[in-house]
């Protein structure tokens, strides 16, 4: 098919590719969430001008069949290992029919270094009843690879002027830095679970968000980790507790706002050491525990040697009936 025929057909069918790209985006986000992988997903259908430029610059003989990224999606990960994990997940997903997988991280030809990452060509069933499936190109990259791809695309693949060979080589040397960056990210991420307080990271993020919303104030993360680490076994660190804290805050939001207004970081009591916990996000967890397991909390608090007055003042605004 020649270029004019391909552009005419693509213009007519573009909404189908737009819907297919969105369908793939939704599925990719679902797969990532289902498997606990943090990422950023975007999708698009190719614009007609980009379509035309690609056919002309690539010298395609078949202006329709050789353009395989009419619909496209991109998934950006922080960790290189998550690119490999997600490649396997997509390959095994029954809703995304994988046509081919190309690992461009293994390409050593300097003329093809512009697109680091993994490209997966998938086909999805059209939503208009048509028998022909729609192909979509899925690109998986790390954040570092994405930066490299954008930079190299501008400077090497679509330069304003042709760069001298010396400058081209300088850009190619960046590949080693990108690879080193990703290796160090992976090493640091592997080490994180060994750090004190890591097991509370999810629930702490949740309460920090709620605390900021309720008080318009940030708390001291180091103190939060110290207290939570001292109370291991009393304050759960699993996902179900994140849900429990979220439900507790939702059910008691009005009273919590009143408590923080009277005793929190912007109140007259904020300078009193005895009320230090009212300026901390973990106070939400402690208030929840005071309501639901006060005696266990008090026992662990005393065993850890934490300041008694901190918990006493917090208990005074709760419904807990405990003696210090």
pLDDT for 184-223, tens place per residue? 888 888 887 777 667 777 788 888 989 999 999 988 988 9
Q: Domain range for residue 299? A: 198-316
| Cβ neighbourhood burial of 100 (10 Å; 0-12, 13-18, 19+) | exposed
Domain final position from 162, 189, 216: 189
Question: What was the pLDDT predicted at 299?
Answer: 93
Same domain, 154 and 15: yes
State what percent of residues in the chain have pLDDT above 90: 49
Same domain, 168 and 226: no
Question: What was the pLDDT predicted at 130?
Answer: 66
Asked if residue 280 belongs to a domain, the reply is: yes
- Rounded Cα–Cα distance for residues 287 and 74 (Å): 42
Q: What is the mean pLDDT of the chain?
A: 86
Same domain, 54 and 80: yes
Domain final position from 146, 167, 189: 189
Helix count and strand count (H, E) for the chain: 12, 5
Question: What was the pLDDT predicted at 255?
Answer: 95
Question: pLDDT per residue over 153-181, tens digit each?
Answer: 666 655 556 667 777 677 777 777 888 88
Q: Which of 83, 184, 82, 68 is nearest to 134 (CA)?
A: 68
Asked if residue 161 belongs to a domain, the reply is: yes
Please give the model's pTM, rounded to 2 decimal places. Answer: 0.63
CB-hemisphere CA count at 13 Å for 54?
17
Same domain, 161 and 256: no
């Amino acid at each position: 098919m020649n270029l004019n025929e391909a552009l005419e057909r693509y213009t007519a069918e573009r909404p189908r590719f737009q819907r297919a790209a969105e369908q793939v985006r939704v599925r990719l986000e679902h797969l990532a969430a289902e498997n606990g992988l943090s990422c950023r997903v975007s999708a698009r259908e190719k614009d007609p001008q980009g379509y035309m430029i690609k056919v002309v610059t690539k010298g395609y003989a078949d202006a329709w069949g050789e353009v395989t990224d009419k619909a496209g999606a991109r998934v950006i990960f922080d960790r290189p290992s998550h690119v490999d994990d997600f490649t396997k997940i997509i390959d095994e997903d029954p809703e995304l029919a994988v046509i081919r997988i190309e690992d461009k991280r293994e390409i050593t030809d300097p003329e093809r270094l512009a697109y680091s990452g993994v490209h997966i060509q998938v086909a999805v069933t059209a939503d208009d009843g048509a028998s022909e499936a729609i192909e979509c190109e899925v690109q998986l990259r790390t954040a570092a690879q994405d930066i490299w791809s954008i930079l190299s695309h501008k400077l090497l693949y679509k330069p304003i002027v042709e760069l001298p060979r010396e400058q081209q080589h300088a850009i190619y040397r960046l590949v080693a830095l990108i690879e080193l960056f990703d290796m160090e990210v992976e090493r640091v991420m592997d080490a994180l679970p060994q750090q004190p307080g890591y097991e509370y990271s999810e629930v702490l993020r949740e309460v920090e968000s709620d605390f900021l919303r309720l008080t318009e104030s940030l708390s001291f993360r180091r103190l939060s980790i110290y207290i939570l680490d001292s109370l291991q076994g009393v304050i759960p660190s699993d996902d179900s507790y994140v849900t429990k804290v979220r439900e507790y805050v939702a059910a008691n939001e009005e009273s919590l706002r009143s408590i923080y207004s009277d005793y929190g970081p912007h109140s007259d009591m904020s300078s009193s050491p005895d009320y230090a916990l009212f300026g901390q996000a973990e106070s939400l967890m402690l208030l929840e525990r005071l309501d639901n397991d006060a005696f266990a909390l008090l026992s662990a608090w005393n065993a850890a040697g934490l300041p008694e007055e901190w918990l006493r003042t917090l208990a005074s605004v709760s419904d807990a009936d405990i003696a210090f």
